[in-house]
C-alpha cells in the first residue's frame, strides 16, 4: 500500500507517542510492582484520557473537523464497549487469585497483544468492507445480535478449565500454582513451568479477541479512515488498564449501564444496515452515545438512592 508522505508521518507520530507512553508506564511509573490505589488509578485514567484527547487535537490539525468528530466518536464508542472487558478482568483475576500488585503487569502485556490483534482485526475489516460491499450488513447484524445478547445474558460462573485458552496453555506448558515470583514462567532444573499469571494473560488476550468481534465492526461503522479507526481504538484500550483499578470498585454501582451499551450497539448496527441508503452524520452518533451512557448512569444512581 503506497501511502502519501503525510500519512506516513502521522503513523510515525502515533507510534512514537504510544511507545513513549508505554515506556514511561512500565519502566518509570510502575517499575516496582505494587497495589494500585483508586486515587492512583484515577490519576492514570486521567493521564490516558488527556493523551487520547490531545491526539484528537493532532487529528484535527492534520485531517480536519470531520475526521476529528469521527475520531472522538470511535474513541468514546470503544471506551464504553471496553467496560465489559473490565468485568471479565475482575473474574479472571479473582479466579486465578492474582495478587493485586501483579495485575498491572498482566494487563500491560495484555494491551501489547491487543495492539497487534486490533491491527489485524481493523485492517481486515476495512479491507472486507472495501472489497465486499454487503459485508456491512453482516457487521450490522453482528452488532444487533450482540445488543440482544447483552440484554438477555445471565450471570454465569466462570470456569476457565473448560475454555480453549486453558486447554492450549496446559498442552504447551506444565503448570505451577505459585505466583510469589510475579513471573509468567518459572524454571526448576531443566523444566519450565507456566504460572497463573501466564494463564491470566492468556485469558485477557482471548477476551479482547472476543470483544473485538463486537467493537471493531462498531468503529468501522463510524469511520472508514484506517488512521482514525486504529488510533482511536488503541488510545481507548491504552486507558483500559488504569480504568480497571478504579472501575472494579465503581462500575458495580452502575447496574443499568448494560442497557445503555446494548442500545449503543443496536444503534451502530442499524447505522451499518442503512449506510448504503442513508448516511447518519458522525456528530449524531457522538451525541447519542454520550447521551445514552449518561442517562444509564444517572438512572443507576437515582434507582440506587430510591432503593436505599
Which tens digits make up the pLDDT trace of 70-125?
Answer: 999 989 888 877 766 776 777 677 777 788 788 888 888 888 888 888 899 888 88
Contact in structure between 270 and 144 (CB atoms under 8 Å): yes
Share of the chain above pLDDT 70, in %: 80
Helix (H/G/I), strand (E/B), else coil: 15: helix
Q: How confident is the model at residue 1 (pLDDT cuts 50, 70, 90)?
A: very low
- Of the candidates 250, 248, 247, 255, the one whose C-alpha atom is nearest the C-alpha of residue 302 is 255
Q: How confident is the model at residue 34 (pLDDT cuts 50, 70, 90)?
A: low
- Of the candidates 115, 88, 73, the one whose C-alpha atom is nearest the C-alpha of residue 268 is 73
**Using CA atoms, how far apart are residues 228 and 280, in angstroms rounded to an integer?**
18
Distance of CA 4 to the CA centre of its chain: 29
Q: To which residue does cell 453482516 refer?
A: 138
Q: How far is CA 245 from CA 57, 160, 194, in A?
A: 27, 22, 25
Instruction: With a cut of 80, say whether residue 49 has pLDDT above it.
Output: yes
Pairing verdict, β 191-194 and 185-188: antiparallel
Q: How far is CA 166 from CA 182, 197, 199, in A?
A: 20, 12, 7
Instruction: Show the cell assigned to 81.
Output: 464497549
Q: How far is CA 55 from CA 79, 189, 239, 301, in A?
A: 15, 49, 13, 32
Instruction: Show the cell assigned to 172.
Output: 504447551
* Torsion from C-alpha of 202, 209, 207, 98, nearest 10 degrees: 30
Helix (H/G/I), strand (E/B), else coil: 193: strand
- Of the candidates 150, 163, 298, 280, the one whose C-alpha atom is nearest the C-alpha of residue 215 is 150
Instruction: Show the cell assigned to 27.
Output: 519502566
Residue 187 pairs in a beta bridge with: 192
Please count the other Cβ atoms lying within 10 Å of the Cβ belonging to residue 73: 27
Q: pTM for the full model? A: 0.74
Q: How confident is the model at residue 67 (pLDDT cuts 50, 70, 90)?
A: very high
Helix (H/G/I), strand (E/B), else coil: 192: strand
pLDDT digits (tens, 9 = 90+) for 268-304: 778 778 877 777 777 777 788 778 878 887 887 777 6
pLDDT for res 192: 80
pLDDT digits (tens, 9 = 90+) for 211-220: 777 778 888 8
Averaged pLDDT score across all residues of the chain: 78
When pLDDT is averaged across residues 171-188 and rounded to a whole number, the result is: 74
Distance of CA 151 to the CA centre of its chain: 20
Q: To which residue does cell 451499518 refer?
A: 272
Residue 105 pairs in a beta bridge with: none
Amino acid at each position: 500500500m503506497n501511502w502519501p508522505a503525510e500519512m506516513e508521518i502521522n503513523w510515525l507520530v502515533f507510534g512514537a507517542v504510544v511507545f513513549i507512553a508505554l515506556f514511561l508506564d512500565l519502566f518509570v511509573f510502575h517499575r516496582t510492582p505494587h497495589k494500585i490505589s483508586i486515587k492512583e488509578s484515577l490519576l492514570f485514567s486521567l493521564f490516558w484520557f488527556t493523551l487520547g484527547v490531545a491526539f484528537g487535537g493532532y487529528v484535527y490539525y492534520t485531517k480536519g473537523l470531520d475526521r476529528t468528530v469521527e475520531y472522538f466518536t470511535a474513541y468514546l464508542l470503544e471506551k464504553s464497549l471496553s467496560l465489559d472487558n473490565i468485568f471479565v478482568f475482575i473474574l479472571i483475576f479473582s479466579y486465578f487469585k492474582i495478587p493485586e500488585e501483579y495485575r498491572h503487569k498482566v494487563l500491560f502485556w495484555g494491551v501489547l497483544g491487543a495492539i497487534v490483534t486490533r491491527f489485524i482485526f481493523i485492517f481486515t475489516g476495512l479491507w472486507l468492507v472495501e472489497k465486499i460491499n454487503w459485508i456491512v450488513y453482516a457487521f450490522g447484524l453482528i452488532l444487533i445480535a450482540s445488543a440482544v445478547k447483552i440484554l438477555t445474558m445471565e450471570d454465569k460462573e466462570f470456569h476457565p478449565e473448560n475454555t480453549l485458552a486453558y486447554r492450549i496453555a496446559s498442552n504447551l506448558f506444565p503448570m505451577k500454582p505459585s505466583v510469589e515470583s510475579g513471573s509468567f514462567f518459572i524454571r526448576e532444573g531443566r523444566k519450565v513451568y507456566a504460572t497463573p499469571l501466564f494463564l491470566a494473560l492468556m485469558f485477557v488476550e482471548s477476551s479482547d479477541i472476543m470483544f473485538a468481534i463486537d467493537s471493531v465492526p462498531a468503529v468501522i461503522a463510524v469511520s472508514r479512515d484506517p488512521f482514525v479507526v486504529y488510533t482511536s481504538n488503541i488510545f481507548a484500550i491504552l486507558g483500559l488498564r488504569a480504568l480497571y483499578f478504579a472501575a472494579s470498585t465503581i462500575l458495580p454501582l452502575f447496574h443499568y449501564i448494560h442497557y445503555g451499551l446494548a442500545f449503543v450497539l443496536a444503534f451502530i448496527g442499524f447505522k451499518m444496515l442503512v449506510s448504503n441508503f442513508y448516511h447518519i452524520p458522525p456528530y449524531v452518533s457522538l451525541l447519542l452515545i454520550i447521551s445514552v451512557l449518561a442517562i444509564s448512569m444517572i438512572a443507576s444512581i437515582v434507582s440506587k438512592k430510591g432503593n436505599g
